[in-house]
Amino acid sequence: MEEQYQDQQQEQPQLQDQLFENRTDLSELNGAVMAIRSEVQKIIVGQDDMVKLILAALLADGHVLIEGVPGVAKTLAAKLVARSVDARFARVQFTPDLMPSDVIGTPVFNPREASFEFKRGPVFGNIVLVDEINRAPAKTQAALLEIMEERQATVDGRSYPMEAPFMVLATQNPVEQEGTYRLPEAQLDRFLFKIVVPYPTEQEELSILTRFHHMGNTVVDDVVKPVLHGSKIVALRKQIKELLIEEKLLIFIAKLIHQTRNHKSIYLGASPRASLAIMNASKAIAAMAGRDFVTPEDILEVAVPVLRHRIILAPDKEMEGVTEEEVIRQIINGLDIPR
């Protein structure tokens, strides 16, 4: 019996090696992620979680809402990630007088052809940075709904598809509320993540000062170089969707979302789109970690940024100063995490 047990122990690592060799090859994806993070870190000090989640959303085919006070590198980080990807980058500065045609585009009459031609707006890029999205009126914000969900814009009954890969990176300022318009829940639900950017630590701030002092007159755009072609992202996205996730983890995600709809502190719970968002985001996080399978830790890592903008707290809890993150973690702590 002991000899048989030893033989099984010797065979098991060989079987594991064979299974590992037969799994998805993530070396190209990991190399691309490391290269992008390395380029961004040439300028950005700290904010590693923000950069990681932006890359996860890029690989998971999702959009990102970045919230933070002015000056914490929200726009710069989004711009540098786009810069490190060899794809068309577009930036739209939202203002209260911005009209949908300023974003999507408008038909223009061509006298030579005696017909109207559609002049595409700035949103027709691969990675689109929408700066201060909450400053535009509801009509303009609503123009983004079809674009973010269907990856197309409809003008005069004709649909114009967005070129893949397509991603919206939106920023908003939570402090200045004068002249802003709160994003409707339907639009918030289209964002894969809501990333809350904190202030840097004292040491990080010193590093920022030192780095930019030594840069002198060097232009930021000249420091960060493209390291990944946009067409490759499409292939990596397909690879991520094929990653393994056990049924017990799917059950855990379903229970987590269901609890948001039946919690006493929550007025409006998360939608089924949130379940899909957690699944897709956890696959991207797993792939970035070099694994072709999802673990409970991957789900826990993305749960808060996926859910914090998809739930509405009960009025009494808001008055008490309770945050969405506190309620989400309370729900997670009350669930049995599968192992």
What confidence tens digit (pLDDT) does each residue in 126-147 have? 899 998 888 888 888 888 888 8
In angstroms, the CA 227 to CA 85 distance is 6
The whole-number average pLDDT for the span 272-280 is 96
Lowest mean pLDDT among 24-38, 232-246, 266-280, 301-315: 24-38
What pTM, to 2 d.p., does this model score?
A: 0.86
Lowest mean pLDDT among 109-118, 124-133, 162-171: 109-118
> For residue 100, is the peptide bond before it cis, meaning its omega torsion is within 30 degrees of 0?
no
Instruction: For the domain covering 243-339, report its CATH number.
Output: 1.10.8.80
Tell me: pLDDT of 212 over 50: yes
Name the phi and psi angles at 334, rounded to 5: -90, -5
pLDDT band, very low/low/confident/very high, at 177 (cuts 50, 70, 90): low
In angstroms, the CA 109 to CA 260 distance is 51
**Are the CB atoms for 128 and 169 separated by under 8 Å?**
yes
How high is the mean pLDDT of the chain? 85
pLDDT confidence of residue 275 = 96
Domain map of the chain by residue range?
25-214, 243-339
Residue type, 321: G
The CATH class of the 25-214 domain is: alpha beta
